[in-house]
Amino acid sequence: SLCAQSDALTSPFFTARMAATDLLEVQKRKLEDNDAAEVDGGDTASKRAAGMTLVPMLVDSSLAIKNEDFSMDLLRIYYDRLFPFLQMFRWLSYRNDPKSSGPGVAKDFFLRREFTFVLEGDIFCRYLCFRDVEEFRSQMLSRMPIRMEIGAVFTHPPKNHTTVIKDAYKPVERELVFDIDMDDYDDIRTCCHGSKLCLKCW
């Protein structure tokens, strides 16, 4: 089984939603900042002292992305232009670059990492592995997963798991992951429940 799930890191919907949430949060902080810079030629404190009424900045709630806004076209754009392939590769290979000529580099380290792609329709593609960042990117754009799960580093490339003696195919390294779901907080949340999420939850 896979040892680690990276939904929060790799979900296109979550990433886009968090970008919108961050923008809303910045706007909210601007409203609450009593030490704001000059507004219309005078600072906030002086306007309050003069008895002027400050008009709060309006937050455009349409910036928040909803589930129904998801589309495969947007997903393709996300993978093609925004997904951090190189950063993911650097993280998951731990400097074991297959193109490196340095001593002590395990050139097949990333190739021995298991991935699972979940395609539209809840189709699971397990035992995937990639030689380098170029193949990783190519396969992501080709298969267009709506979710990706990151597994352990094994003794052999996962795609060869059926050709390796069962006792010889073992995980040798994995990340420690704490998976906390929003519905775990339903006993103490007063605003939302289940998988629903608002700014207060975040």
Active site residue 80: no
Query: What is the spatial distance between Cα 6 and Cα 149, in angstroms, rounded to a whole number?
Result: 6
Which one of 60, 179, 183, 184 is the catalytic residue? 179
State residue 57 phi and psi, 5-degree precision.
-70, 135
**Cβ-contact 25, 33 below 8 angstroms:** no
Which one of 38, 134, 181, 183 is the catalytic residue? 181
Active site residue 181: yes
Q: Residue 2's closest CA among 179, 184, 193, 196? A: 179
Show the CA angle centred on residue 74, arms to residues 72 and 76, nearest 5°.
70
Active site residue 69: no
What is the sign, positive or negative, of the torsion defined by CA atoms of 148, 154, 157, 161? negative
Cα of first residue to Cα of last residue in the chain, in angstroms, is 30
Point out the residues that are catalytic. 114, 179, 181
